[in-house]
Amino acid sequence: MRFAGMVLWGILLLGMAQSQGLNGIRDLIENGDLGTARTRLQSVLNSEPATARILMARVLYLQGDPTQALSQLNKVPLAQWTAEAFWVRGLAQAELGKAAEALSNLKSAGYLGNNYQYAMDWGATAWRFGRLEVAAEAFAFAEALDASEPWPFLNLGMVLFSQKKPQQALQHLQQGLGALERLGQPLNHPAYPELYYWMGQCHQSLGDLGRAREFYRQAITVDPDYTAASSALAELRR
């Protein structure tokens, strides 16, 4: 019994070491040290083939080789696929111009992982391919996942404005502004001028030119180099 316990303890320690090793590799990827991550992954392909190949696919995608990234993912049994695998496959397919497949995989990644970044990438990819309804769904999901971030509110507001829904857009933009204010973010936060500008656009579209001018001025106040707001304000002065 004592020997069996020692064996079990050894297996547990090995599993913990492998997990820590993979987390360390993931940190390397997050920090942009792709060369070191790729070298380290080669050493764990035999012990952790599924996770290692998913991470290798991520490295290859970030190194500009989406085809090889997909090749790595194809070697992972479907039963061992994770949200991260669907995410990387979606990003790689998007780079290859495969819109439908990319959006399907990014949607799976977002919902399977309940992951804010995956949802934002799903929305950004849908927007890139002109799929505004899909982008709206993705950014709304990202809002629900992290209401403290202004970006999904801003992006959804921009999408809704593009769909000629300025009143709905304004509601989400106001929520984005509220998120910044609740966290006490300084006015040099890059989302402030964007939110002010698009709120100005919404008010202008709704015929409230006074409020539009007010928000354009606020955008210029926090970012004097924001040329879109300056141009919009100049147009209203004519």
When pLDDT is cut at 50, 70 and 90, the band that residue 64 belongs to is: very high
Angle at 108 between CA 37 and CA 123, to 5 degrees: 85
User: Is pLDDT above 60 for 193?
Assistant: yes
User: Is pLDDT above 50 for 17?
Assistant: no
Residue-wise pLDDT for 117-164, tens only, equals 999 999 999 999 999 999 999 999 999 999 999 999 999 999 999 999
When pLDDT is cut at 50, 70 and 90, the band that residue 2 belongs to is: low
**Averaged confidence pLDDT in the chain:** 92
Q: What is the pLDDT of residue 163?
A: 97
When pLDDT is cut at 50, 70 and 90, the band that residue 186 belongs to is: very high
pTM of the model: 0.88
Superfamily grouping for domain 147-238: Tetratricopeptide repeat domain (1.25.40.10)
Q: What is the pLDDT of residue 223?
A: 97
User: Is pLDDT above 50 for 225?
Assistant: yes
Lowest mean pLDDT among 14-23, 81-90, 100-109, 212-221: 14-23
Phi/psi of residue 96, nearest 5 degrees: -90, 5
Amino acid at the residue 104:
S
The C-alpha atoms of residue 184 and residue 192 are separated, in whole angstroms, by: 12
| Domain definitions of the chain by residue range | 147-238
User: Is pLDDT above 50 for 4?
Assistant: no
Residue-wise pLDDT for 203-217, tens only, equals 999 999 999 999 999
Q: What is the mean pLDDT of residues 5-25?
A: 53
When pLDDT is cut at 50, 70 and 90, the band that residue 21 belongs to is: confident
The C-alpha atoms of residue 222 and residue 212 are separated, in whole angstroms, by: 16
| CB-based contacts of 237, cutoff 8 Å, min separation 6 | none
When pLDDT is cut at 50, 70 and 90, the band that residue 45 belongs to is: confident
User: Is pLDDT above 50 for 197?
Assistant: yes
The C-alpha atoms of residue 30 and residue 129 are separated, in whole angstroms, by: 26
The C-alpha atoms of residue 22 and residue 200 are separated, in whole angstroms, by: 47
Q: What is the pLDDT of residue 46?
A: 84
Q: Who wins on pLDDT, 188 or 12?
A: 188
